[in-house]
Amino acid sequence: MALVLYLHPLASFCQKVLIALHENGTAFEPRLVDLMDAGDSARFLDIWPLGKIPILRDEARDRTIPETTIIIEYLEQHHPGARPLLPEDPAARLEARLWDRFHDLHVQAPMQKIVTDRLRPEDEQDRRGVAEARATLRTAYAMLERQMADRRWAAGDGFSLADCAAAPALFYAGIVEPFPPAHPHLAAYFDRLVERPSVRRVIEGARPYFPMFPFATMIPARFLAADKEAR
């Protein structure tokens, strides 16, 4: 297999790349990385010493590609599918990149702060940092509510890189810091995302690992039942 994706199905950034791959039916080999296993971790660190997943390995080109946005752009360049995830128009492309970074930096990052803090011993938890992360999420939600008032997808009418980033970010963020009832446009956008076949497929793949998620008991019931359409 020319393309190998090193990943864990529960990891939100891995899900971002998986959505892009599924959108275009791109053939790849998923390779599960268990960073808690010493042997598996050592083998992965030989490939990418920073130890961050996902990593795309293009064997045909002898290239190792890190960072989710770069991976998706690399796929667009070298393994394009029928559904481009970056618009051709320069202004529209910048818009997609903007909202990709928005979801990574202002939804994913604070969500992960809250999740990782839950894993710490109580005497090492960062209450102030978590409160700041929750405040950042609430600000991001308010911005997305305005953004989604007049559009179907994050960067306009077409599903793009920005939506690949939004889906897993909002999935987990909405669990740890639920969307306010006063944000109907955000809620409707999220519903469109999770109804997308590529996103349903990613949620289905993550489901066996949900018990590992520190906020597993808060996952909405609609995501706990098997989705036959995603298979």
Which residues make Cβ contacts (< 8 Å) with residue 112, sequence separation at least 6?
12
In a domain, 9, yes or no: no
In a domain, 7, yes or no: no
Which residues form the domain of 200?
90-205
In a domain, 68, yes or no: no
On average, the pLDDT of the chain sits at 95
| Domain count of the fold of the chain | 1
Report the pLDDT value the prediction gives residue 40, as an integer from 0 to 100.
84
In a domain, 101, yes or no: yes
In a domain, 71, yes or no: no
User: For 100-109, 139-148, 218-227, which range has the lowest pLDDT when averaged over its residues?
Assistant: 218-227
Is the pLDDT at 73 greater than 60? The verdict is yes
CATH number where 176 lies: 1.20.1050.10
Is the separation of the CB atoms in 68 and 61 below 8 Å? no
Percent share of the chain, pLDDT over 90? 89
pLDDT tens string 129-170: 999 999 999 999 999 999 999 999 999 999 999 999 999 999
pLDDT tens string 163-215: 999 999 999 999 999 999 999 999 999 999 999 999 999 999 999 999 999 99
Average pLDDT in the 60-81 region?
A: 96
In a domain, 130, yes or no: yes
In a domain, 56, yes or no: no
For the entire predicted model, the pTM comes to 0.94
In a domain, 170, yes or no: yes
Q: How far is CA 17 from CA 2, 27, 114, 207, 216, in A?
A: 16, 13, 22, 17, 23
Is the pLDDT at 10 greater than 70? The verdict is yes
